[in-house]
Structure 1
């Protein structure tokens, strides 16, 4: 196994044209049985923007949130991924699935594109990337790879890059540089996750296609498997997500989830301001997760923090939420959630903030607001600090989502 490489997580900023995202936690085991369970999690994105203000984030998304189901899968295809109103990847297909067979227990995530193109600066055709995380015979392992049918830098074909080695850095005149076949894996005491990205674009030169200073991962995959445990911690958090009817138009920003906790460490995922095209402007967003699985107690906590939101003349102040879950060895389970919204105003009119769960506030002609929207189950709790139903656009924006639970 290769040692983990230096890896800076790519954070989702905004989103347009996402199809078929599966963003809910799947509780497939809630019994009191002490039989060991495995945790499966994975995703595949067409594109994902890392830095800067951009009208794009995770696109063409396939995702399985933490589940104990070894037959869970998600698939998405026939879409074009755009960044800065430019088509970056065409005819993208993504998929992720869990398995329990002769290979062991694991997750495979993959993504393909007919081509990845940045104007006349870069052309990658027949792109395929995949990663797999496996637990077999008491051992954790992973694989990851990327291949192309053809590679052109400017007008020059580069056959040597068709099967690039891991983390191959290449200069692209007029753009900056790219990293091909970015792969790695991180093993913990409770499991392993692996990642593979076909190409990461670093635009450090001013150009017409990708804003300078913005980094974009194209065909980004992740797979995660836990060791068997008597209690598994699960959950997720994100800053914002927008839907028109059942179509996801802006995927989860600063998204984090877990199947294995964080070994008691707090992990933070942050992005700058977010633009949800034609709907809203969102200030800086960050989420945190902290969880541990042990013989005495398993516990997890997720938080979400949003600097503020503007929808037309509607201005909303800082928004926060948190969700926690824990289970002790004697079978006791605890769940908790909090949320807050600092202020709501339209022009000079300031509205009084409600303090009860699932309270609504109607802003005539603009939106209906729902505060502290809580879903509570036997071993799982989720909270949306604020849900904005935008009149006239038939759009629902979820702000400040946190969720946590235990399985086993």
Structure 2
């Protein structure tokens, strides 16, 4: 069974993708003592939540954790589907950063020729956009959606062509929709805004969308951070398992950031992780803590696991930590550490190795790789333990943490 997904669609970022931290580190610019801005945003065609219709974002355009004010991406597709039904046609999304007379910011757009749910709902000429801006020391945002046509059932609704923010409308035979869903959240380090053309809440049984499913169509987000010496980023998770390149589990207790946590520690816990036919992982959690301002930027990610069992292989508590920082004078600092309490097989105790990328082969059971580290001037990641299970051709990563600064 997969993880439960929060149905609150408004502010859920999709930028927290496993591996994004290392990509950013490898492509970041040269060191600079000047303040930098952090730009992030996305446009999504359709995303469904709830029941068996959970789907990842379709027609995705995204920029993430970049200090490049010229960053941009676009995407388009003929049609996007939910539950094997074509919901929107000729979908285009884009997101771009800017630094001009209007300030520093990000704009994300999405459009569709039409959005249709059988004979229950038909929206045409749909355009949605949101912008987050920093200018003259102030943060602000805008967002809006317009329609060329709105028809509910067989009734045209001209009053809804330019709806107010968060307009709720009943749709007989389906449930209800929210048109022009817009909002923004301001923090000490920046602001993000979102705009969604239509959010469909299917709370009536129908032939198009399973009852209990929410669908966001044309979903956008824009985020700008205040000027700082650097932008912090990173991620952490407890476990991830894959067979060759196919991910079979995880990442669990996953956390990421693109601007820190205002200096507060955020914890994500899990009671246990059962990777079917592969491994059992005891109680575990991850933490993140980061901040960025005009004097200093720093971030720490940690991962903690009570213990792991893979057949007769038993591994004690596992911990990993990654830290990165930059000060106003241009000094960088990156550190990592990890530890494993014990390793036993059928009561036989094996020595825990402490070197980077050191290995232990347990014949017929698994190869263990300790302290799998990738380190650069401004970025470090560590996998405390990687287990290659021979009989299943499966790789299990346990205790991952990564941290970096861009700027």
Query: CA 1:254 to 1:155, structure 2 compared with 1: closer, same or farther past 3 Å?
Result: farther
- What is residue 261 of structure 2 aligned with on the other side? 262
Residues 52-131 of structure 1 mapped to structure 2, 5 A cutoff: 52-131=51-130
Q: Secondary structure at the match of 2:159?
A: helix
Partners of 2:216 and 2:269 in 1: how far apart? 16
Q: CA contact under 8 A between 1:337 and 1:383: conserved in structure 2?
A: yes
Partners of 2:111 and 2:360 in 1: how far apart? 44
Partners of 1:240 and 1:179 in 2: how far apart? 37
- What is residue 345 of structure 2 aligned with on the other side? none
Partners of 1:89 and 1:254 in 2: how far apart? 33
Partners of 2:304 and 2:59 in 1: how far apart? 25
Query: CA 1:397 to 1:89, structure 2 compared with 1: closer, same or farther past 3 Å?
Result: farther
Query: CA 1:43 to 1:155, structure 2 compared with 1: closer, same or farther past 3 Å?
Result: same
Q: CA contact under 8 A between 2:233 and 2:405: conserved in structure 1?
A: yes
- What is residue 36 of structure 1 aligned with on the other side? 35
Once the two structures are overlaid, the 10-residue window that deviates more, 118-127 or 220-229, is 118-127
- What is residue 309 of structure 1 aligned with on the other side? none
What TM-score do you get using the length of structure 1 for normalisation? Answer: 0.70
Q: Secondary structure at the match of 1:25?
A: helix
Partners of 1:78 and 1:290 in 2: how far apart? 38
Gaps of 5+ in 2: 1-7, 271-283, 306-317, 341-349, 362-366, 389-394
Query: CA 1:335 to 1:78, structure 2 compared with 1: closer, same or farther past 3 Å?
Result: same
Partners of 1:119 and 1:299 in 2: how far apart? 51
Partners of 1:95 and 1:398 in 2: how far apart? 34
- What is residue 196 of structure 2 aligned with on the other side? 197
- What is residue 9 of structure 1 aligned with on the other side? 11
Deviation, structure 1 residue 370: 9.0
Query: CA 1:164 to 1:290, structure 2 compared with 1: closer, same or farther past 3 Å?
Result: farther
Deviation, structure 1 residue 98: 0.8
What TM-score do you get using the length of structure 2 for normalisation? Answer: 0.70
Partners of 2:267 and 2:295 in 1: how far apart? 26
Which structure's CA Rg is the greater one? 2
User: How much is the aligned-residue C-alpha RMSD, in angstroms?
Assistant: 5.5
Query: CA 1:384 to 1:164, structure 2 compared with 1: closer, same or farther past 3 Å?
Result: farther
- What is residue 185 of structure 2 aligned with on the other side? 186
Q: CA contact under 8 A between 2:301 and 2:403: conserved in structure 1?
A: yes
Deviation, structure 1 residue 170: 1.3
Deviation, structure 1 residue 66: 0.9
Q: How many pairs align?
A: 390
Once the two structures are overlaid, the 10-residue window that deviates more, 378-387 or 40-49, is 378-387
Q: Deviations over 1:294-352 (max 9, x none)?
A: 4664222456899xxxxxxxxxxxx99764322345655333457899xxxxxxxxxx9
Residues 130-209 of structure 1 mapped to structure 2, 5 A cutoff: 130-209=129-208
Q: Deviations over 1:143-175 (max 9, x none)?
A: 111112212222222221121111111122222
